[in-house]
A and B are shown apart, each in its own frame.
Chain A
């Protein structure tokens, strides 16, 4: 019931179109579809920051529009079409659940270009883009193993989908390079965004002996709980140090701006073509927030690892990767797992004493 209601709410809200700048016929119109409100301090907020950076860079040649609070699923189709009808020629749909709606609209309007975030379906006029966040999680794993006195990490998961599972694995692969006996406790909250529940999950993890919190959910609640309890934590999506000045070690920051600017410039130059972009530290598709609240040697280790990953010298999923059952995972990508294996990851690596829910 809640879903339908939120959907209905969003349709109403989607009616409020925020338009930037005056209407000029010769300007390229660029549209954005957002999942949450721009003030969510997380996922949508980072896309909005990138849009603002885009306007700053090429604002004289383009006009941008965004629709916020657009629910995933069939309703999104109407919102996307609304942008097309308003004359937008390049449209960014910024959540996984917009995949099929975007594809449908893309087929209907072959002359409009679409950019879909974090999906896997493409078309002549529909590109996809995402970031290799697992690289950042590997670095966080190393830091966590150094900083945890108890040797027990607390991990708050949203949904047991491959992106989150590969994040947990990358974290543990990093952590095991520092402490082979590191343990992780995982709690799924079955939501991307429920501050109360995220805070409760953080409390439960800390109460059960974990002394460092990592999250794959969107609100700063867990960071705040960690700070109050004098424990350490990693942020998610955006800078969360305000909520835990003495707690945040670093945070994976979604930085979409360079990509958005590049794609819009390509569109302006008439060189846009459908592509699949999965960028990492090397292409600044995401960044690490400053390394704080840690001794210099840990900071240096993190920076070295970051540099090695960015230079392509280190792959978090370098072979051999041993699964939970002790069997080595088939190495399809030469000396590391192939991208499709990471994108579809549905197993835990050895050293994680837990089960993926529903498996």
Chain B
């Protein structure tokens, strides 16, 4: 296995949880809801995902447990932020704090246990091709799923009527409401989708990335996913580019250090965030064709009574 191939494989693995979580958050934010609880939903997804896989012996059951856990967490958020119209920022932050504590409680029983990691695809012939073989045909299922998911989300948002309505809710909930669309229900589904994706992204960590569970193992990836959504200016295609770019920066800086290339590692570690700030500045300067962020993002909507 060549070094370049090895690097690409590591980048794909490092990017997948970011892409999964950010895809979910993108849909949530496109409906006008800012859920800052990604990190919390991810870590609970990680704990439940590992627990499910460990108890059942099946990676798929584990992944499903992660998804369900993420949805349940997002329902708490939905109850507060949509049902009771509480401030979304505060609710999201509280959700993260809750998730970190809750995951430790759920995971306490399986700390130190091990499972076999998710199997990698192997197609005789294709997977053995030099260079591209392992990269294209030798990944674990999550990697393919994350790419399929983002394609589906793109198609949904831009090629379906429901997607258009969802975006309308995010841009102007009052108009959407006036047209008779159930804004809150649409937002609820979007929040639940975000939760499912975050839960799956969290489950990816103990199921495929580092096959064990330890409290706090998401280590801030939920926040990177949030930054990624902004970096992508809420567009699925840019999200893919961004996720792999963020993953590549992480992996390449490790390789640069190992090879003795003298770039300070602290600087490299901060690059994804720096890139996000730069993109934000560029977006705000080049605001020619319509706004970038969903116009109603983060604003509370209470239907007329």
Chain A positions near chain B (C-beta within 8 angstroms):
1-2, 5-6, 8-9, 12-13, 36-37, 39-41, 69, 154, 185-191, 193-201, 203-205, 207-208, 210, 219-221, 224, 242-243, 353-355, 357-358
Residue of B at shortest CB range from A15? B101
A39 close to B223 (CB less than 8 A): no
The verdict on A199 contacting B209 (CB below 8 Å), with A39-B215, A357-B266 known, is: yes
Residues of A within 8 A of B132 (CB): none
* A355 vs B258: C-alpha distance when bound (angstroms): 11
Count: A-B pairs, CB below 8 Å: 134
Residues of A within 8 A of B62 (CB): none
Residue of A2, A154, A191 with highest tally of chain B CB at under 10 A? A2
The verdict on A357 contacting B101 (CB below 8 Å), with A199-B209, A205-B258 known, is: no
Q: Which of B54-83 contact A (CB under 8 A)?
A: none
Can you sample 10 A-B contacts with CB below 8 Å?
A: A8-B97, A9-B101, A12-B97, A13-B104, A69-B104, A185-B258, A189-B254, A193-B216, A196-B205, A198-B210
Q: Is B260 an interface residue (CB 8 A)?
A: yes
Among the listed B17, B93, B112, B260, which residue makes an inter-chain contact with A353, where contact means beta carbons less than 8 Å apart?
B260
Residue of A at shortest CB range from B104? A37
A196 close to B258 (CB less than 8 A): no
Min C-beta distance of B83 to chain A, whole Å: 23
A190 close to B215 (CB less than 8 A): no
Q: Is the interface of A mostly helix, strand, loop or mixed?
A: mixed
18 more contacts with CB within 8 A, not counting A5-B39, A9-B100, A200-B254, are: A2-B39, A2-B220, A9-B97, A39-B108, A39-B214, A40-B215, A41-B112, A187-B257, A189-B254, A193-B219, A196-B221, A197-B219, A199-B210, A200-B10, A200-B250, A205-B258, A219-B217, A243-B114
Residues of B within 8 A of A358 (CB): 264, 266
Q: Is B7 an interface residue (CB 8 A)?
A: yes
Interface size class of B (residues with CB under 8 A): 35 or more
Instruction: Please encode chain B, from 99 to 128, with 1 for each CB lying within 8 Å of some chain A CB and 0 for all others.
Output: 011001001100110100000000000000
The verdict on A224 contacting B214 (CB below 8 Å), with A187-B257, A208-B3 known, is: no
CB-based closest 4 A-B pairs = A39-B111, A194-B219, A207-B6, A204-B254
Q: Is B163 an interface residue (CB 8 A)?
A: no
Residues of B within 8 A of A9 (CB): 96-97, 100-101
Min C-beta distance of A330 to chain B, whole Å: 27
Q: Is B244 an interface residue (CB 8 A)?
A: no
Among the listed A5, A40, A355, which residue makes an inter-chain contact with B97, where contact means beta carbons less than 8 Å apart?
A5
Residue of B at shortest CB range from A13? B101
Min C-beta distance of B22 to chain A, whole Å: 16
Q: Is B265 an interface residue (CB 8 A)?
A: yes
Residues of A within 8 A of B100 (CB): 6, 9, 13
Q: Is B255 an interface residue (CB 8 A)?
A: yes
B107 close to A39 (CB less than 8 A): yes
Residue of B at shortest CB range from A4? B93
Min C-beta distance of B197 to chain A, whole Å: 18
B257 close to A188 (CB less than 8 A): yes
The verdict on A242 contacting B112 (CB below 8 Å), with A9-B97, A12-B101, A187-B254 known, is: yes
Among the listed B14, B93, B257, which residue makes an inter-chain contact with A196, where contact means beta carbons less than 8 Å apart?
B14
Residue of B6, B223, B257 with highest tally of chain A CB at under 10 A? B257
Residue of A at shortest CB range from B227? A1
Q: Is B179 an interface residue (CB 8 A)?
A: no
Q: Is B289 an interface residue (CB 8 A)?
A: no
Min C-beta distance of A74 to chain B, whole Å: 18
Among the listed B1, B210, B212, B265, which residue makes an inter-chain contact with A357, where contact means beta carbons less than 8 Å apart?
B265
B114 close to A242 (CB less than 8 A): yes
